């Protein structure tokens, strides 16, 4: 039995060495659990097409009442937008338009997810938002959770992109691919001895900790739960330390990427956005936001 397990792990390591390892971060699901209409939300299906013809699907949730801004939501690594929808379902009532994107291989999006290919999906969504005419004069906010936030940081840090976004919200984002691999494998006695060789194969050139500093000047609100069993709090601390000003941190309680379902956290997010990414009023200069509200670890 142990010999079979050993051979199996050896084959896994060999496969990672020969084919790459970024697919280990993606757990897509094609079937929908629900759509926004089941939650009483108006929505529109959006299909974006890459130059090579690959189709990427998303949902557009219009705001109710006067538009306060647009939120570009990047979900975590598992399932699809139908299971992550409740993390942003409260935003339209608060006046925010929401664009939810499914990466390639998720939901109705074509293809197979891997890096760096998924970065191009996120870029495609960002380009569409700016070219669609739907933003108006209201601010654009990127909200990334877990892997979605990690990938979002990399894309937003690219030349010219920080200026295209007015605020960034990050929840439960890991600081580096090797570090989160070691953290995950160390929780299993079977995988514990293999954490170092597997972590060495991870794509550290895309570590959020190394890129988040390039977002300096864009108001950044980081959220992380002290009870997160998937991405430990130390990752949130590392990202906060590496980020430039202006920035704020909100320590959460509860499970991984569950913070934005709390009414208290929703209130804090709204307060942050109203202060640092307000909807412009007529003849109002909003280029000088007030002091950031800060939270202690």
Using 50, 70 and 90 to split pLDDT, how confident is the model at 5? very low
Q: What whole-number distance in Å separates Cα of residue 68 and Cα of residue 87?
A: 18
3-state SS of 143-160 is EEECHHHHHHHHHHCCCC
Kindly report, residue by residue over 181-219, the tens digit of the pLDDT: 766 665 554 544 545 455 556 678 999 999 999 999 999
Confidence (pLDDT) at 135: 95
Q: What is the pLDDT of residue 25?
A: 83
Q: Where are the alpha helices (DSSP H) in 218-262?
A: 233-242
With bands split at pLDDT 50, 70 and 90, how would you rate the model's confidence at 11? Answer: very low
Peptide bond connecting 50 to the previous residue in cis, omega within 30 degrees of 0 = no
Element (H, E) at 60: strand 55-61
Q: φ and ψ at 231, to 5 degrees?
A: -120, 105
Domains and CATH numbers, the chain: 61-102+124-276 (3.40.50.1820)
Q: Identify the sign of the CA torsion 239, 241, 246, 247.
A: positive
What percent of the chain has pLDDT above 90?
75
Give pTM, 2 decimals. Answer: 0.86
Listed residue (130, 102, 128, 131) closest to 28, CA to CA: 102
Closest CA to 71 of 46, 44, 89, 51: 89
Provide the pairing of β-strand 96-101 with 55-61: antiparallel
Measured CA to CA, the distance from residue 5 to residue 3 in angstroms comes to 5
């Amino acid at each position: 039995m142990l010999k079979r397990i050993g051979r199996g792990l050896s084959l896994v390591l060999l496969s990672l060495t020969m084919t790459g390892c970024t697919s280990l971060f993606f757990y897509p699901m094609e079937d929908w659990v629900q759509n926004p209409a089941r939650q009483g939300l108006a929505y529109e299906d959006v299909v974006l097409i890459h130059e090579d013809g690959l189709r990427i699907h998303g949902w557009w949730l219009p705001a109710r009442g006067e538009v306060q801004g647009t939120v570009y939501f990047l979900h975590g690594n598992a399932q699809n937008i139908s299971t992550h929808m409740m993390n942003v379902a409260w935003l339209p009532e608060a006046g925010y338009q929401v664009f939810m994107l499914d990466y390639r291989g998720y939901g109705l999006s074509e293809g197979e997810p891997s890096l760096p290919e998924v970065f191009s999906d996120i870029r495609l969504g960002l380009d569409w938002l700016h070219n669609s005419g739907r933003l108006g004069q209201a601010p654009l906010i990127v909200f990334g959770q877990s892997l979605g936030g990690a990938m979002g940081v990399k894309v937003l840090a690219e030349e010219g992109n920080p200026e295209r976004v007015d605020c960034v919200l990050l929840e439960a984002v890991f600081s580096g691919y090797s570090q989160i691999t070691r953290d995950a494998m160390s929780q299993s006695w079977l995988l514990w001895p293999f954490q170092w060789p597997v972590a060495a194969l991870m794509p550290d050139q895309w570590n959020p900790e190394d890129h988040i500093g390039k977002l300096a000047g864009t108001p950044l609100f980081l959220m992380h739960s002290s009870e997160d069993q998937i991405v430990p709090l130390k990752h949130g601390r590392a990202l906060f330390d590496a980020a430039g000003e202006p920035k704020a941190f909100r320590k959460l309680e509860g499970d991984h990427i569950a913070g934005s379902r709390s009414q208290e956290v929703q209130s804090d997010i709204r307060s942050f956005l109203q202060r640092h990414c307000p909807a412009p009023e007529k003849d109002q200069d909003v280029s000088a936001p007030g002091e950031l509200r800060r939270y202690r670890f």
